[in-house]
Amino acid sequence: MAKEREISIRDVVVDDGFWNRRIENAVEKVVPYQWRVLNDQEPGAAPSHAVMNFKICAGLAQGEFGGFRFQDSDLAKWIEAASYSLLYKDSPEVRAHLEEIVGIIEKAQQADGYLDTYFILAKPQERWKDIAHGHELYCAGHMLEAAVAYYQVTGCDRLLLVMEKVVGLIRKTFGEGDGQISSYPGHEEIELALMKAYRATGREEYKELAVYFIENRGRRPGFLEEEGFRKASENRWFQASYHQAHAPIREQETAEGHAVRAMYFFTGAADVALENGDGSLKSALERLWGNVTRQRMYVTGGVGSQGEGECFTLDYDLPNDTCYTETCASIGLAMWALRMLRLEPKAGYADVMERALYNNVLSGIAQDGEHYFYVNPLAIQPKVARFRKDHADVESSRVKWFGCACCPPNITRTLCGLGSYVYTRRGDAIYQHLYIGNRAEFDTEKGRARLCCTSSMPWQGRAEIAYEGPDGVELCLRVPEYAENFTVERNGAPVGFTARQGYAPLTVRDGDVLAVSFAMPARFLQADPRVAEDFGKVCAQRGPLVYCAEEADNGPLLHTFTADLAQPLEAVESGLFGGIVTLRAWGERADLASWQDGALYRPARREAQPGSLTLVPYFLWNNRGEGEMLVWMNAR
């Protein structure tokens, strides 16, 4: 098989003071934990049925299909995560589990190549009949991603051969020929997976199928006419835009519909734009990126503000306590950002990627690795969240698992595959997007390059990059949007540079050591006045981290605090969570004692007492028990 042309997941291993703890926890604890859950062996976790479904299909067990129709994808994401985990610990136990499940999948596959446990077991006569909501292509996409990961890390192509048969069947089933279905996936995912497989194997048929699905989307008939699109008549949130099928991608002006689907679709489209040098597709993606990140993204890097339809709504409609901001959608945003960086290295893409990874993505998993958020609100009052219908999607505490468990294994594959987000290569230039400690070795046009990065991020703005390799390679170091007084030293001496699209380009020689330093003062952020929920409010950010107030530090009624913008935020080194930087905001809190007469309303008068709030990084909220949380504070 052909060698992958991108920087391989094998070539960058994270070794970082901040991320090591999280990756080691994922490798040592979370991957085995999720294997137990997927095998229905973890007490207190919602049943998965994922492995059992494959065993029944393989003739190794008896029973009926269990779970959602897309349950196969949970297992696929675990296979991907487990494969990546071997880069950090070559665990015989994990290898055995992978070999076992690949063997079961091989036996479960049908003679014609079909592989989807829901339709094999529950509805065998309805294969390819519900393209909008059947998730057959979605599940195939995740399993193809798993196959590529397993092959890249272990060199074993057994699962890839299974998926070659699946893709062969899909190519026969979908197209414009006689007897074929002219359509596109209801839930996008296979497009980006096909492009991964194309880069890993060099097989043109993978790219051709991805192009077909992307170009055909939004055209008729598709599933909208052939299936009558039943849900559209029942619920307006499930119209064509829910699937990003309201127009061909080049005609789409705004990001619409289901946020995860949109992120995966745009990710696959960016892969195609890069491989085909498609300028019009790149322009469409730039337009959509601008809409998402400048009108429809939360400060935490969350996207998709409404629970019904798990979807985008309108520009600047960003409620804090009812927002959906699914963990998977933020992972999808980071994936899309990485593809946009491959298309054109602009620091703004990396700024968003970093924002998503450090905030909304990490919020989805507890410090213990065994509890998860599907929805990531920016404000919560637990009693209200448990009572009100419009808060029905919001959990006040992370849970051990979900019946619809797309997010937990997605987080794990992201953590174990974090190295893929650090660098991209463009011609003879290496771009370092994230100051995450790592050891990397990969080819450039001049020869093999080796980089070793040590970093103090996200607590301090310092990183050191040691380079070994051919002279004349250009190493481009990102200047983060929050960085002040960004400087670079080469071998101990200051070096000047002319920034290019937010990067400091430096031509390096063998043995060079570059030291990057910048200040990260804590600062208040405000939102565009058109964001009604945040008008007159501020939030706190230091470096890439967004901060929040918790009841655990400040007591209840957090909303009664008003920050004094004339008093700077104070950064405090704290022993919390093994050592973090907390922030303190100064201002005033309402004088609740003056309301002891029981009045619900009274003539307005200003009564407040000096006060402050202790703020912790948003991703750490709800690790000390249930309580109120607030990102956006009143301000004056």
Neighbouring residues of 456: CB distance < 8 A, sequence distance ≥ 6: 17, 462, 463
Inter-residue contact 116 to 129 (CB < 8 Å):
no
Helix ranges, 86-116 (H):
92-108
Closest CA to 76 of 371, 409, 339: 409
| Type and span of the H or E element at 233 | helix 230-234
How far apart (Å, rounded) are the C-alpha atoms in residues 123 and 288? 37
The tally of CA atoms less than 13 A away on the side-chain side of residue 288 is 28
Q: Given the residues 139, 311, 328, 406, select the one marked as catalytic.
A: 406
In the numeric block, which tokens belong to residue 153?
């890390």
Q: How far is CA 411 from CA 36, 110, 178, 266, in A?
A: 17, 30, 42, 20
The tally of CA atoms less than 13 A away on the side-chain side of residue 542 is 26
Closest CA to 324 of 356, 296, 302: 302
How far apart (Å, rounded) are the C-alpha atoms in residues 239 and 386? 30
Neighbouring residues of 361: CB distance < 8 A, sequence distance ≥ 6: 301, 327, 330, 331, 334, 411, 414, 619
Neighbouring residues of 124: CB distance < 8 A, sequence distance ≥ 6: none
In the numeric block, which tokens belong to residue 417?
């595959």
Which amino acid makes up residue 555?
A: G
The tally of CA atoms less than 13 A away on the side-chain side of residue 287 is 13
Q: Has 310 been annotated as catalytic?
A: yes
How far apart (Å, rounded) are the C-alpha atoms in residues 392 and 397? 13
Q: Has 106 been annotated as catalytic?
A: no
Inter-residue contact 528 to 623 (CB < 8 Å):
no
Report long-range pairs for 201-206 (Cβ below 8 Å, ≥24 apart).
Answer: 201/1, 201/2, 201/160, 202/1, 202/2, 203/2, 205/167, 205/171, 206/167
Cis preceding-peptide flag for 221 (omega within 30 of 0): yes
Inter-residue contact 333 to 274 (CB < 8 Å):
no
In the numeric block, which tokens belong to residue 199?
């880069």
Q: Given the residues 256, 310, 395, 474, select the one marked as catalytic.
A: 310
Enzyme catalytic residues? 310, 406
